Amino acid sequence: MINVTINDIKLQVPEGTTILDAAKMVNINIPTLCHLNLHDIKMVNRTASCRVCLVEVEGRRNLAPACATECFDGMIIRTNTKRAIRARRTMVELLLSDHPTDCLVCEKNGNCDLQRIAAELGIRKIRFEGEQSTYQKDSSSGALYRNPDKCIMCRRCETMCNEVQTCSVYSAIDRGFETVVGPAFNLPMLDTQCTFCGQCVSVCPTAALTEVSYVQDVWNALHDPDKYVIAQTAPAIRVALGEEFGLKPGTIVTGKMVAALRRLGFKKVFDTDFAADVTIMEEAKEFIDRLNGKGRLPILTSCCPSWVKFIEHQFPELLDIPSTCKSPHMMFGAIAKTYFAEKFNIPADKIVVVSVMPCIAKKYEIQREELKSDGVQNVDYVITTREFAKMIREAGIDFTKLPDEDFDNPLGESTGASVIFGTTGGVIEAALRTAYEWATGETLQDVEFHGVRGFEDGLKEATVKLKDMELKIGVAHGLGNARRLLEDIRDGKRFYHAIEIMACPGGCIDGGGQPYHHGNLEIVKARMNALYEEDRRKPLRKSHENPAVLKMYEEYIGEIGGHKAHKLLHTHYTP
Ligand code: HC1
Ligand code: SF4
């Protein structure tokens, strides 16, 4: 331990502690902008590029950035001197002097860290004027929107993409005044190895990275009398949407979410969870087939489009191991435009399917050729949790006062197994609940597989007994962890029977389209607990017990894994 003094307060800190962390220990707040410490997922952005956290250190001529300066024994620090405060203000003014001042109409208005810090530092005037850098905007992917004019070179996106997700899409490009963070050669994002997980969007402090918005398209469809617009909601929405309206993280708002969609004008409000149950029917069957020698092991879950794009780019030699199942929301789209359309006599070409998702990659996924039916998209638009919240506000709906309403049927019925899809480990747990009963013919008494749960471990392993067989299960969340797992499988260092991979740390609960958590991962953990709570509340907790799903197989699809199921519910991958 070493002794330091901050603003006359003496304290002891472990060696290697930064001034910023030491100050926190005695409740002294040093403002930061580029700094971000997501300890649970091992991401620390310590570029010290914004210089907003400058402090005075006795005996040193220059001010020191608190986020990147380690304490030494006997260090005397002052965080609130006139010189330090003036320097911080100057740094922010310099950033603002090369930043668009369109805050009132900016996507991040009210959520922007630069805006917040300017307000906190009391900046009312920018003393520096001059040329502003302007760059090409990029919405080529239809998923991720890049507006480099708003980049403040904090490099958070770079740290997230390169160190956590290991996709290495971003770096500093160009020189001098033109320097900005972007993909190599400033390629359109669609032409890069970006998986559109949107984790860069989650950590971008400004609106340099956001989602491509489809709010206006959805309004247009809702106001078109010729269209029959239906919504499906992902599992992770119901435990995060409340945050947008001031509710505590982890508040379950399923009923209000349904009511809000009805008031926005959706003809039917359905649940992606229904399709998650369908996914389990198909995936558990595929798993058991592979266990019986029909196909290669391990089987990899395939509902995360970002992870699918990752394996296509990074491990093309392993493309025969992901399950051929489409993701649940794509299955839903195919079911809505066939089974639902025929059953309720609605022309399929009038149906507009809107997916409300925590995810940015889903916006890209719906455009994939492999997932279209005769060239037609099965899902028409994806809006994120944040976009959905905007629509609710635009419509003047008082969300917290809404009554709790139920989903429409038949595509609104779901089990607890489908709800936990939204968190890391949930998809494989849901698959195990069904595969166990189908493979053994026995009733599974305890449906909770705690070995595959949890946020802290990026790579989890569990063993599940299936009669006289020991199933080895692997779970990875975050693409860096997925990479480690896949390298070991490719090199024959690890063996599993089944693996779940979700691109976002924690799974969809921390998707790139969720309400901003501003670096507080406790919010993500609260969402996770809420999903498990929702599972416990459900009367049915195994996908193969969903009566609406069973009826659909009986009336329309026929055999699980059969010809029609393959046509509607399965896909293939592209190296
Ligand atoms: Fe997900 Fe899924 S869980 S991928 O994370 O399998 O987005 O929530 O909708 O499709 O069901 C996302 C969430 C979601 C699909 C399901
Ligand atoms: Fe989207 Fe979920 Fe995958 Fe994240 S983990 S990219 S939110 S599907």
Model pLDDT, residue 468: 85
* Predicted ipTM > 0.90: yes
Residue nearest to atom 1 of ligand 2 (CA): 359
Q: Judge if 81 and 144 occupy the same domain.
A: no
Q: Judge if 366 and 220 occupy the same domain.
A: yes
The Å distance, Cα 511 to ligand 2 centre, comes to: 5
Residue 313, CB half-sphere, CA atoms under 13 Å: how many? 19
358 Cβ closer than 6 Å to some ligand 1 atom: yes
304 Cβ closer than 6 Å to some ligand 1 atom: yes
Q: Judge if 438 and 382 occupy the same domain.
A: yes
Domain-located, residue 187:
yes
Residue 194 among the catalytic residues:
no
CA dihedral (283, 285, 286, 289) in degrees, to 10, reads 160
Where would I find the beta strands (DSSP E) of 349-446?
Answer: 351-357, 381-384
Rounded to whole angstroms, how far apart are CA atoms 279 and 235?
Answer: 14
Q: Judge if 270 and 170 occupy the same domain.
A: no
Weakly modelled stretches of the chain, pLDDT under 50: none
Provide φ and ψ at 348, rounded to 5°.
Answer: -60, -35
Residue 302 neighbours by CB under 8 Å, 6+ apart: 308, 322, 323, 324, 325, 326, 327
Domain-located, residue 575:
no
Domain-located, residue 203:
yes
Q: Judge if 460 and 520 occupy the same domain.
A: yes
Q: Judge if 59 and 160 occupy the same domain.
A: no
State the amino acid at position 551 in one-letter form.
K
Q: Judge if 86 and 172 occupy the same domain.
A: no
Model pLDDT, residue 467: 82
The Å distance, Cα 381 to ligand 1 centre, comes to: 15
Residue 369 among the catalytic residues:
no
Residue 534 among the catalytic residues:
no
Residue 328 neighbours by CB under 8 Å, 6+ apart: 272, 273, 275, 276, 278, 279, 303, 418, 421
Q: Judge if 202 and 256 occupy the same domain.
A: no
**Which position among 56, 211, 283, 413 bears the catalytic label?**
283
Q: Residue 407 has what DSSP assignment?
A: P
Model pLDDT, residue 475: 97
Rounded to whole angstroms, how far apart are CA atoms 447 and 442?
Answer: 12
The answer to whether 254 and 531 are in contact (CB under 8 A) is: no
Coil, helix or strand for 471?
strand
State the amino acid at position 25 in one-letter form.
M
528-564: pLDDT as tens digits: 999 999 999 999 999 999 999 999 999 999 999 999 9
**Which position among 107, 211, 243, 365 bears the catalytic label?**
365
Domain-located, residue 488:
yes
What does pLDDT average to over the chain? 96
508 Cβ closer than 6 Å to some ligand 2 atom: yes
Residue nearest to atom 6 of ligand 2 (CA): 197
Rounded to whole angstroms, how far apart are CA atoms 200 and 12?
Answer: 36
Q: Which domain holds residue 178?
A: 133-212
Model pLDDT, residue 456: 87
Model pLDDT, residue 53: 97
Among the bound ligands, the one closest to the CA of 507: 2
CATH at 205: 3.30.70.20
Q: Which of 271, 304, 500 is the best mutation target for the ligand 1 pocket, counting ligand atoms within 8 Å of the beta carbon and taking the most?
A: 304
Residue 286 among the catalytic residues:
yes
CATH at 479: 3.40.50.1780
Full-model pTM: 0.96
237 Cβ closer than 6 Å to some ligand 2 atom: no
Residue 193's Cβ-count burial label (10 Å; 0-12, 13-18, 19+) is middle
Q: Judge if 278 and 308 occupy the same domain.
A: yes
> What six digits make up the tokens of 404?
């709790």
The Å distance, Cα 383 to ligand 1 centre, comes to: 13
Q: Judge if 85 and 149 occupy the same domain.
A: no
CATH at 77: 3.10.20.740
272 Cβ closer than 6 Å to some ligand 1 atom: yes
Q: Residue 54 has what DSSP assignment?
A: E
Q: Judge if 190 and 205 occupy the same domain.
A: yes
The Å distance, Cα 197 to ligand 2 centre, comes to: 6
Among the bound ligands, the one closest to the CA of 196: 2
420 Cβ closer than 6 Å to some ligand 2 atom: no
Domain-located, residue 119:
no
> What six digits make up the tokens of 551?
């009826």
Domain-located, residue 76:
yes
> How many domains does the chain divide into?
3
Task: Residue 257: name the closest of 425, 59, 403, 92 by CA.
Answer: 403
194 Cβ closer than 6 Å to some ligand 2 atom: no
| Four-residue CA torsion sign, 334, 194, 151, 202 | positive
Domain-located, residue 304:
yes
Q: Judge if 177 and 45 occupy the same domain.
A: no
Residue 464 neighbours by CB under 8 Å, 6+ apart: 432, 436, 449, 451, 470, 471, 473
Among the bound ligands, the one closest to the CA of 422: 1
Domain-located, residue 272:
yes
Residue 304 CA: nearest ligand 1 atom is 4
501 Cβ closer than 6 Å to some ligand 1 atom: no
**For residue 307, what is the enclosing H or E element?**
helix 305-314
421 Cβ closer than 6 Å to some ligand 1 atom: yes
255-282: pLDDT as tens digits: 999 999 999 999 999 999 999 999 999 9
333-381: pLDDT as tens digits: 999 999 999 999 999 999 999 999 999 999 999 999 999 988 889 999 9
